[in-house]
Each structure stands twice: as structure tokens, then as C-alpha cells.
Structure 1
């Protein structure tokens, strides 16, 4: 049977529901078409950009024949078909973006975890523009720094980026770079700029610090100093918001035991340490060596926090049990079955799960349910406005 290849073909499509990943679902000739730059209910002409010949293909809406009432003019001219792939929803009003993301989180919970739940994604302070504090750029053939097009190696050169904090990218955009160079930009909480050049030789990536190197932040009532290019929340208000909610839901008992998994530099560990007090115990596990070193320095005044560097599922095998509460903030792929089972072995009363991908969260929630842990509460935040990403905090018990 000959596979279909519609690449380059233009289709007239009635746009259906929003889907996880920054696109909407449509159908043509019994095939699913995932359409970017469209909104539910619109009639569009869409050009097929990717087609592997299976049951679906991908397309960009190149002309809107019947616009939705929530459509707006994107604040960035590069947020268009063939343009920058960094933003997904600039063509939707800010309030409608929250609605779209709410539907995505609810759909993932229903489809992957069998949970019917109304979700409301909450905006963080500051509005949809000028929030991004950390960006990885790449130099194009002309040496100018930019971002890649969606699902492409093509580099779209930037003069500015409306979702980044004003001035954050100036040091990177004012230079010419060797083509293919990746550039990491960070603007910390004290408005200090940090710039690192990344080069890959024989599969090994090395960084060369050009400006700065040590970031300063204030969150959860503490001052923090750490590697500027290590993990920290991208939105300026995210760290405080999530730390506050984690503290509210964790309720670690005085003198109790808590685990902070994928601990970074210890943001949540500091909250848990305050709850268990000096007679309690907080085990902070993080795989990044530099983050662990930074965490030990930042929390040196909290001896109840013990640091371990390595893989979560392996280190939990030897961890003291039972544990009262577990907080985890895994990478985008989620915790996975092995980590979930290692957590369950600790018999925690509560689990607070911070997730940057609703699909990964839903899969892990389903695995927790197999071991008797149900979803007690959930809040979702628009920590990445204009993009399809959303941050969720879930309480399981």
C-alpha cells in the first residue's frame, strides 16, 4: 500500500479542538491534521509541512477564511507560518490562551488518567509579554543569533523577542557568532545578565562563560546564589508562587521526614526544612553535581537538609522510610514508573508533584492511582505565556 505524502499540499480545513503541543486538530480525507497558527472553530487554508505517510500530518494555517472572535494580531511578526517556533499562541487573546491551556490539561487527565476534572489555568503577574528570563539561542549561517523555526533546523534571526524581559538578549543579539554556535542567556533576579557560549565537538558540549556566571535570586524568603545556567524557573514570579503552594500542600510535620526529589538548588527543600524544623529530616536528591554543590552552600544554615547526587530511583532504595511527605519536580518527561514505585515504597501521606508537562503528569498520576494514591487537588499556572507550555502542581494522597 502506497503511503500518502501531502507535504506542500494546501487544504481547506474546519479547525477542531485544541490539542497538547500548540496546535488544533482537524481532519481531511479520513486523516488527522494537526494545524498550527489556527484556533478552534476557524475555517483556514493550511499548508502541509510534515507528512510521514501515516494516519496524521502537520500543517500551518497560511490563510484564515473565517476567524475566531478570540483571534488577535500577534505582537511579534515572527510568530507566523515559517517563522520562529518559540511561541504557539500569539494569535490568541491572553484570556483565550488560558482557556485553551485549561482544556489541554483537562483532556490529558481524562485521556491518560481517566480523571474528569475541571481545570482553570491561572495567570502569573506581569502579563503575557516581557517575562522570559532564560533563553537558548543559536547562530545562523550569517552569524546572527536567533531561534529555530518549528520542527526545523532553520534559524530565524532576531532583532528582539517580545516575550523576553526587555534588554535580556541585547548582549547576544549585538554580536556575530560562529554559525551553529548555541548561546545561553540568563537575566537573574538582580537584573544581572549572564551569557555563555556552547560548542559541541565529537558529541561533547562545552560552555565558555562570556559574561557573568553566578546568578542571584530571592525566593521563599531566602537569597540564592547559583550557577546562572543551572535550573531555575523561567518566569520571574514562578519560584515564589510554586514554593508557596508546595508549602501549603506539603504540611510536613514538625520533626518529620520529607523528600525533595529533582531538588535543583533546594527551593522546595528550604520550605520543607522550615516545616520539619531542626529535629526533622529533609532528603534532597538531584542528579546535577553543580546544583547539589550550590544547594549545599545556599542551605548551609539548615543542617536538617541532607543532599544526595544521583538518580532518584536508585538513591531512594537506601533512603530511610517511611516518609511523611514527598515533593517532586521532574524534567519534562515526568517521573516515570520506576520513580513512582520508589516513592510509593516510602508510604508518604502526601505527594506534591510539580509538573511542566500535563501529559507526563497525567501518566504518572495514573501510575500513582494503581498504588492507591488519588489526585486530591490540582492548580495550573500560565508560567510560559504565548507558548503551549503550562505548569501544574498536583496533590496526591
Structure 2
């Protein structure tokens, strides 16, 4: 670990690598990824744990001479923003962590900012990405600088805490539960996760000897059903070690081992899936299969999608629709309700295990056809005159090829659900190049105290 410097060194490009050095910076606007943008002697520096307008002392974390930009963490605030608050979680507080000689954990990088300002900053990022990557200069009516919508305040009392029904942890070399620092191999031991629900924190995983385990995933459904702890064992770890960890957990908790590379899941105790509930349906989700992590996210997103499609006349009894990147069938089940037995729903998911979950979840809906495979291939194989499509791709977005295939299928409308404003804006740009319009947009703060957000957009053919 490089010791903190007591003075502010000059950040000159010919002085060699600068990681560990400190500098005083005036923080500029917010950028995608949870950073503020600062400049020093012509060099762009992306700074975490600051607020636009502040004067701060930073420690450089990524600062190679040939790099186009550098990265830094705030270690001292010299002129604070009125929106700065005391961080709710000590391991994630950059000033406190660096004061103890190590970086903060990731996952709560906005915890030092008042929630209202967090949401306005997210709105700024969304508007900037749409302008720069998609050429959208005027947002649809209803979305302005203050319109990233809060979710779950009735449950958390407006604190933005206790919303995660899923959490991912690392393990220290000594077998203690921990989390990685941002862009670092350093693991910080933790004894709480304030963003997680009580069901996760009450497992007290930090009290368990986790030697032989490299990673721990926890799913504790918001409906109170049986939690699942997934253990990623290190090479050579024996079944006896996994059984010992399972024995240290409450008896009503399922335990399984999994391989993060292949997503192969093996039973240790109990079942290898959890039961989620949303929009009047129950869903089986196997292992590390995808499900929204905020307890109120499924309802909020289903509501936004169906409102867009119903109000435009795209979703009705007898309609022909598709759910692309369908996961375990969250939207598929709701679409099936809306189109009835006279309509049809094509549900497409690439992951075999998750597609099998969808088959189990939708087996009683004859109007649903579930297909496992790549979206662009399935659309070519099963051309239809779609009334509407729901597009909910992974963080990387759909991409140019898939957007091209979607446009070629000529649906009347597409509801696009995204968790990343950059890939979303890029894809909106592809649609606009093909003559489509961004007809509606809502943004949700489903990840309070982080830089992440979720958007739901309505896209329609131009004219």
C-alpha cells in the first residue's frame, strides 16, 4: 500500500506513474459511472465520492502517464456541497477508508449525497447520454432534471436503505465475508450490508468461517419465501467444507454451490431456486438466474411497461407480442394476461437454465411460446406481425445487430427496459437512425446510494 503524501504533488505527464499521489481539485459535472469530472494541468481526472462544485483533496488510484484520463478518490473535503451528508456505511466512506490506509468498498458510491440530489444527478447523466449518443436534445414530456422517480419509500421511510433482495460478496484470504473495492483486487471485510434487506443481514454471514469459498451470492425474496445462499468454492474445496458452512446457517435457508463461469448449480441443502412474486404471479428463479434486486422493482417496471403499451393501444386482447431477454418470465406472464387466449406471446431467453424457469412458470398459459436462443436468430426464424415487443437486455444493451433485426420485424411499438444509460442511449441512437422516435421515457431510482438507475422507454416507428 502506497503511503499518503503530506503535500500535493505536481501531476506532470513525465513524472512516471502517479497512483498514490494526492492533489487538490475543483470538481466539475457528474459523469456516467458515478464520477465527477475534474481537470488538472490539461489532464482529465474522474473522481469518485465527490459532488459537483466541491473543492477536495484526492488520492490518484489509476494514473499511468500514457493514459487518456486518470481516476481518483476523495480523501478530504475542503469546500463541501450543501448536499453532502454523513455516509451511512463506514466501509464505503472514502474519507474514512483512506484514513485507515485502504480504499472503500464499492456498491454505495453515492452514500455521501442527499437522496434528492442523487436523483437529480442521475437525471443529468441520462439527459447527457441521450444527447451525446442518440442526438436527443429534447426529452419526452414528463422527464426533466428532477424526474428520476423514487421507489419503495413506503418501505424504507425515505432512507434508500434495505432494498436489496440479492447481494454478492467476496471472501478474504482468512475466510471472512467481504466486498471488493472499486476496480481493485483489495477485499474489505464487512459486518453488515445496509442496502440489503433484513432477511440477508439476519443470516450473519460475517460470523461464518468461509475458508475454501471465493464468492457468496444471496437471494432473499421480497415475499418472505425461503432464501438461497450460493457458494462459489475455490478449486479443491471438498463437499465436507460446503456442508460445514451450510450447517452454520439457519435450517430454513437453502444452500447450493455454483460455478460463476458456467452458472452450473449443485445442491448442498434444500432447493436450488427461490420463489419470487410480482404482478399477481409467482416465479421460480434458479440459482444465480436474473431477477430485479430491488424488492419493489418488478412491480414498478411492469407498471411502467404496461402503461406505455396500453395507452398507445399496442397491448390488448388478441394482440401478438414478444418478450425479448425474458429471463424467468416477469413480463411474459403479464403479457399473457393482457392478450388472453386469443393472442400470442413469444418469450425469448438466451440462458438455458433461466429459459427452463420460464417454462415452469408459464406452463399453464397456452398462448405463450417459450424459445431458448439468441434474440436476433429467433426473430428471423419466427417472423410475425408484432403489435409490441418488450426489450429488456443485459447491461451491455441490445447492440446494432439486434436493433436492426427489431426494426426489420416492423412491430408497432417497443418498450425498452434498461439498467445502463450509456448502452440505452446508444441503442436509442440506432433506432433513431432507422427513423424511429423516442415517444415516452420514465426513469426509476431502483438503486439508491449508487450511480445506477433503470429506464423504461416507448419507441415507435416515425410518422
Give 1:199 deviation, angstroms. Answer: 3.1
Q: Which residue of structure 2 aligns with residue 57 of structure 1?
A: 70
Matched-pair contact (CA < 8 Å) for 1:142–1:179? no
- Give the Cα separation in 2 of the matches to 1:41 and 1:255: 54
Matched-pair contact (CA < 8 Å) for 1:273–1:282? yes
Q: Which residue of structure 2 aligns with residue 114 of structure 1?
A: 135
Once structures 1 and 2 are overlaid, which stretch shifts more, 274-283 or 379-388? 274-283
Give 1:39 deviation, angstroms. Answer: 0.4
Q: Which residue of structure 2 aligns with residue 34 of structure 1?
A: 46
Once structures 1 and 2 are overlaid, which stretch shifts more, 298-307 or 119-128? 119-128
Aligned pairs for 1:62-211 (under 5 A) are 62-81=75-94, 82-116=103-137, 117=139, 118-119=144-145, 120-125=147-152, 126=156, 127=158, 128-169=160-201, 170-178=203-211, 181-191=214-224, 192-199=226-233, 201=235, 206-210=264-268
- Give the Cα separation in 1 of the matches to 2:45 and 2:325: 36
Give 1:162 deviation, angstroms. Answer: 0.8
Query: Deviations for 1:200-226, whole angstroms, at most 9, x for unmatched residues?
Result: 659766544455532122211112223
Match of 1:317 among 360, 367, 380: 380
Matched-pair contact (CA < 8 Å) for 1:189–1:216? no
Does residue 326 (structure 1) correspond to residue 378 (structure 2)? The answer is no
- Give the Cα separation in 2 of the matches to 1:376 and 1:207: 42
Q: Which residue of structure 2 aligns with residue 355 of structure 1?
A: 418
Q: Which residue of structure 1 aligns with residue 305 of structure 2?
A: 246
Give 1:111 deviation, angstroms. Answer: 0.9
Secondary structure of the equivalent of 2:370?
strand
Once structures 1 and 2 are overlaid, which stretch shifts more, 376-385 or 213-222? 213-222
Q: From the superposition, tell whether residues 73 and 209 of structure 1 become closer, same or farther in structure 2 (CA, over 3 Å).
A: farther
Q: Which residue of structure 2 aligns with residue 375 of structure 1?
A: 438
Secondary structure of the equivalent of 1:385?
coil
Aligned residues: 397
Matched-pair contact (CA < 8 Å) for 2:175–2:209? yes
What 5-or-longer segments of structure 2 have no aligned partner? Answer: 1-12, 95-102, 236-258
Give 1:130 deviation, angstroms. Answer: 0.6
Does residue 16 (structure 1) correspond to residue 28 (structure 2)? The answer is yes
- Tell me how large the CA RMSD over aligned residues is: 1.8
What 5-or-longer segments of structure 1 have no aligned partner? Answer: none
Give 1:173 deviation, angstroms. Answer: 2.1
Matched-pair contact (CA < 8 Å) for 1:21–1:388? yes
Query: Deviations for 1:86-135, whole angstroms, at most 9, x for unmatched residues?
Result: 21100001111111111111111111111122352111013410111111
Q: Which residue of structure 1 aligns with residue 99 of structure 2?
A: none
Give 1:244 deviation, angstroms. Answer: 1.4
Secondary structure of the equivalent of 1:78?
helix
- Give the Cα separation in 1 of the matches to 2:383 and 2:234: 41
Give 1:181 deviation, angstroms. Answer: 1.1
Larger Rg: 2
Match of 1:43 among 55, 73, 98: 55
Question: TM-score under structure 1 normalisation?
Answer: 0.95
Match of 2:272 among 195, 209, 213: 213
Question: TM-score under structure 2 normalisation?
Answer: 0.82
Q: From the superposition, tell whether residues 392 and 205 of structure 1 become closer, same or farther in structure 2 (CA, over 3 Å).
A: closer
Match of 1:6 among 14, 18, 22: 18
Q: Which residue of structure 1 aligns with residue 243 of structure 2?
A: none
- Give the Cα separation in 1 of the matches to 2:371 and 2:23: 54
Q: Which residue of structure 1 aligns with residue 283 of structure 2?
A: 224
